[in-house]
Amino acid sequence: MLYEEWRSPLNASLHFITTHVYVRSFYNEIIFRCVGCAIGRKLIQKDEKMIHKYKLNGYNVVLDVNSGAIHVVDDLASEILDLIEDEHIAEEPSTNIVQRLVRRYSQDKVEETWLELYKLYKAEELFSKDHYEEMASKLGESPIKAMCLNVAHDCNLRCEYCFASKGDFGAGRELMSLEIAKAAIDFLVKFSAERHNLEVDFFGGEPLMNFDVVKSTVNYAKSLEQAYGKHFRFTITTNGLLLTDDTINFINENMDNVVLSLDGRKQVNDGLRVTAKGTGSYDAIVPKYQELVKRRKKLGKDYYVRGTFTRRNLDFTKDVLHMNRLGFDQISIEPVVADENLDYSIGEDDLDRIFKEYEILQKEIISQRKKGNYFNFFHFMLDLDQGPCAIKRLKGCGCGNEYISVTPNGDIFPCHQFVGKPDWKMGNVTENEFDESIKAYFSRANIYTKADCRNCWAKFYCSGGCNANNLQYAGDILKANKISCDLERKRLECAIALKIAEANFNLN
């Protein structure tokens, strides 16, 4: 049966409903149901089962959290799931449920739908058990495999929202020497143990301000590959001002990924991404990005044009579309991370507007793809067939454990967002040793040690979120930041809805 044929009886109303249903597994007894989730999270027991149900684009989407199965259900099945509150998951529905539905549906239909839900339950694709907490408890320290190499604590832009204190991370402007860069590569090789794939992201500040060191570091790392059985992957994150023919060629030849910073429309970008003189950067960088991407596409290599949105451009779909019209088809735009008191910071009051904007964006992407214009939005990317394994999903980004950041003087921090926070300094690459206690601390960060994550339906997709965000807003890497989490959940709902739409319109 074609998907569209199956779906046709569904009510295509566009309103959005979120419902969680939690089931205590031992007795197969549903203990709590809520619209929204704030209250339900508090009541969850250790080994509960969980689904997440929401409506978007006219589809009733049901995510079985612990199995990863995704179902689209009709309105009757959706209503039954809403009514499952204090009933056993039995082969037949309770009298209570039947009585509440027979005024609008025939008893045969109710029983037929219940049986379908029951079959999914028995197949462990609905209200499935949580198999992962024990795995999480066994997670330990990992080899270090990824390094953010801050080759320049200096920048030729003065972006208002920069988390790096406009380039110098609050510690003075400094460029990394080749000696320190080589020591960082040596450190990574030494502490990577058996890991084969190693990642180095040239970051800053602005890494092109120290491009000779970037080039020499790439060559040095490659020279070690054969002897140590490693494979380096390089990424560079740049604001583009210093791109030239030569740097573009080197980047395209040697970098596995390049992240090009641009916030979208000229007035949006130039409002916050300004030079030291206060002038906008858009006109200087866009032609360079276009040239780099034009050449890069021929090589089939990854790139992202990446922006930041703030309270000033909550209509950021227009910025995504603008970037697409400039010729870019790999686009990311993220909410600003900034002091909550700043006028452009995103607050809880903005959430409804942003939720609406993400819905607008996913609908626009569907519309564009139907027209044959495929572009990718980073935060709607989702590999539902395989993607990362469950183990990876338990621990997330791995900052401070398998991912570190190194400053120009060789200091080691858990990630680029911790740089400049003295309490989190882990050591120095020239010392060839570092504070194992901080590494051990981060190694324990997983979706079961974060109280807000263990009961969240999105935990296997964001994998515990950004530890630095948690520290910035909640004061603890293990405490979720509500705004970040709300936005992440909304993006995931849109991403899944987009996947469903793609299947429906055969757009893959």
Partner 1 sequence: MKHIFTFKKSVLKESAKNGGCGECQTSCQSACKTSCTVANQKCENRSK
Site for partner 1, residues 44 to 83, rule: CB under 8 A: 64, 66-74, 76-77
Residue 288 to residues 253, 294, 297, 299, Cα–Cα distance (Å): 16, 10, 14, 17
Residue 204 to residues 156, 272, 313, 401, 414, Cα–Cα distance (Å): 11, 18, 25, 21, 15
Among 249, 201, 234, 240, which residue's Cα sits nearest to residue 399? 201
Q: Tokens 């034009």 map to which residue? A: 294
Give the shortest CB-312-to-partner 1 separation in angstroms: 17
Q: Which of 382, 441, 449, 473 binds partner 1 (CB under 8 A)?
A: 382
Q: Which of 390, 444, 449, 486 binds partner 1 (CB under 8 A)?
A: 390
Among 91, 104, 184, 101, which residue's Cα sits nearest to residue 146? 184
Give the shortest CB-3-to-partner 1 separation in angstroms: 7
The SS3 assignment for 313 reads helix
Q: Tokens 């597994």 map to which residue? A: 25
Residue 190 to residues 67, 103, 202, 466, Cα–Cα distance (Å): 37, 70, 19, 26
- Dihedral of the alpha carbons of 478, 484, 487, 489, in degrees to the nearest 10: 0
Site string for partner 1, 264-303 (x = CB under 8 A): ----------------------------------------
Give the shortest CB-382-to-partner 1 separation in angstroms: 5
Q: Is 3 in the site for partner 1 (CB under 8 A)?
A: yes
Q: Is 233 in the site for partner 1 (CB under 8 A)?
A: yes
Smaller CB separation from partner 1, 213 or 500: 500
Smaller CB separation from partner 1, 42 or 122: 122
Contact 82, 75 (CB under 8 A): no
The SS3 assignment for 56 reads strand
Site string for partner 1, 335-374 (x = CB under 8 A): xxx-------------------------------------
Residue 364 to residues 87, 322, 367, 374, Cα–Cα distance (Å): 41, 12, 5, 11
Site size for partner 1 (CB under 8 A): 94
In single-letter form, the type of residue at position 254 comes to N
Considering only residues 133 through 152, tell me which ones interact with partner 1, judged by CB under 8 A: 135, 142-143, 145-146, 148
Q: Which of 398, 400, 410, 427 binds partner 1 (CB under 8 A)?
A: 398
Q: Which of 188, 255, 259, 494 binds partner 1 (CB under 8 A)?
A: 259
With contacts defined by CB under 8 A, name the span among 16-24, 129-137, 284-292, 357-365 that binds partner 1.
Answer: 129-137
Smaller CB separation from partner 1, 183 or 487: 487
Q: What stretches of 409-480 adopt beta strand conformation (E)? A: 411-413, 427-428, 433-434
Q: What stretches of 215-303 adopt beta strand conformation (E)? A: 231-238, 257-261
With contacts defined by CB under 8 A, name the span among 116-124, 168-176, 320-328, 359-367 that binds partner 1.
Answer: 116-124
Considering only residues 154 through 183, tell me which ones interact with partner 1, judged by CB under 8 A: 163
Q: Is 407 in the site for partner 1 (CB under 8 A)?
A: no
Q: Which of 304, 316, 358, 418 binds partner 1 (CB under 8 A)?
A: 304
Q: Is 503 in the site for partner 1 (CB under 8 A)?
A: yes
Considering only residues 185 through 214, tell me which ones interact with partner 1, judged by CB under 8 A: 195-197, 199, 201
